[in-house]
Amino acid sequence: MKFLDQAKIYVKSGDGGNGVVAFRREKFIEYGGPDGGDGGRGGDIIFKAVDNLNTLIDFRYTQHFRARKGGNGSGSNRTGAASENVIIKVPVGTQIFDNDKETLLADLDEVGKTITLCRGGDGGFGNARFKSSTNRAPRRADEGWPGEERWIWLRLKLIADAGLVGLPNAGKSTFLSVASAARPKIADYPFTTLHPQLGMVRLSSTEEFVLADIPGLIEGAHMGNGLGDRFLGHVERCALLLHLVDITSEDVVQTWKTIRHELEAYQDDLSKKHEIIGLNKADLLSPEEALEKQHLLEKATGQKVFLLSAATHQGVKDILYYLQNYITNHKLNDASYQKPFSPI
């Protein structure tokens, strides 16, 4: 299944049914009077977050959603049938934007969360509604109210505990495959990862968290270079970021600064998230050279830098337990923390 995290669709709720003009005409009933029924209510457009979807690919092929019109009223004061609602199922983490792509209408960040985006029109009144002491035989009936319609944008932001960031070929996909059961594409060329990947990291029967890998960033990604920075939306909800730096880079400090600049250019809040730095591919250098670059990066960043090698599993367990401890503490201290669902 292809991954799609953005789609534009058209939605329209159902119009209300029309009221009718009708009169009761029965033998031996001299003054039957008006008995035209009201129209039925049109169907609503409802969005619901479900946990068995992880892409918006279905909306590439189906882009128009319309609810049915309510039934018209009839004689004997019979109200028209209300139409069924149209329930559109989307992945957890889907945001709904207005056509301007800026106005947020809804954020479906929990399983089962629903939002009625377009309400169906009310049915029109039949002539029985308008009878009075001075108007015994009204011949007025209203049409149903029109439903709501709009173009909207759906944007999926995956929900994970920790997010992987770094330059292309920093070893993010290899790290994800070692740390979890995910099997992303791994190859020795830039931009191997073309769409986000989720993996469940299980350290014990009670300790687990969701790790997200996104396509690599390059200098100028916020201006559209490479694959751009749109995929950073998938790590906005993470508790922390794991920044992998290729230890074989000529200047590891500049490599780290490049990604930091792109995070700041994308969103200030994202750049303020807690960051854990890992110098990956440590097996390609001698222990002395690896320690030298570790001390150099620690001095520049002012924080602990982990030495690791996803290929040989060196230091992987240590950094995973560090991630788990931070995430556990974050959940305890943040009542609004959004629990990710297990990736399928």
Non-local CB neighbours of 211 within 8 Å, separated by 6+ positions? 160, 161, 162, 163, 164, 176, 179, 180, 198, 199, 200, 201, 242, 323
Residue type, 52: N
Q: Which tokens belong to 181?
A: 């059961």
pTM of the model: 0.76
Cβ atoms < 10 Å from Cβ of 75: 17
**If we measure between CA atoms, which residue out of 89, 86, 87, 88 comes closest to residue 43?**
86
CA–CA gap between residue 163 and residue 175 (Å, rounded) = 12
Q: Which H or E element spans position 49?
A: strand 45-50
Residues 12 and 66: beta-carbon distance below 8 Å: yes
Burial class (CB in 10 A: 0-12, 13-18, 19+), 58: middle
CA–CA gap between residue 69 and residue 124 (Å, rounded) = 12
**If we measure between CA atoms, which residue out of 319, 291, 57 comes closest to residue 164?**
319
**If we measure between CA atoms, which residue out of 172, 244, 179, 262 comes closest to residue 213?**
172
Residues 253 and 296: beta-carbon distance below 8 Å: yes
Sheet holding 104-108, edge to edge: 64-66, 6-12, 149-156, 94-98, 104-108
CA–CA gap between residue 326 and residue 338 (Å, rounded) = 15
Q: Which residues are annotated as a binding site?
A: 166-173, 191-195, 213-216, 280-283, 309-311
Backbone phi, psi, residue 276, to 5°: -115, 130
Query: What 3-state DSSP class applies to 278?
Result: strand
**If we measure between CA atoms, which residue out of 288, 312, 303, 181 comes closest to residue 242?**
303
Backbone phi, psi, residue 130, to 5°: -105, 5
Mind listing the domains of the chain with CATH numbers?
Answer: 6-156 (2.70.210.12), 162-333 (3.40.50.300)
Q: Which residues are annotated as a binding site for Mg(2+)?
A: 173, 193
Q: What is the pLDDT of residue 89?
A: 95
Q: Which residues are annotated as a binding site for GTP?
A: 166-173, 191-195, 213-216, 280-283, 309-311
Could you tell me how far CA 244 lies from the centroid of its own chain?
A: 25
Which residues are paired to 49 by β-bridges? 90
Could you tell me how far CA 335 lies from the centroid of its own chain?
A: 21
Q: What is the pLDDT of residue 202?
A: 87
Residue type, 77: N
Strands 104-108 and 94-98, by their bridges, are: antiparallel
CA–CA gap between residue 205 and residue 332 (Å, rounded) = 19
For the chain of 344 residues, list the mean pLDDT of each consecutive stretch of 10: 81 96 84 90 96 86 94 93 96 93 91 94 94 90 95 89 87 87 65 74 83 83 76 84 90 91 84 89 90 92 90 90 88 61 48
Q: Which tokens belong to 273?
A: 């998230």
Query: What 3-state DSSP class applies to 228?
Result: coil
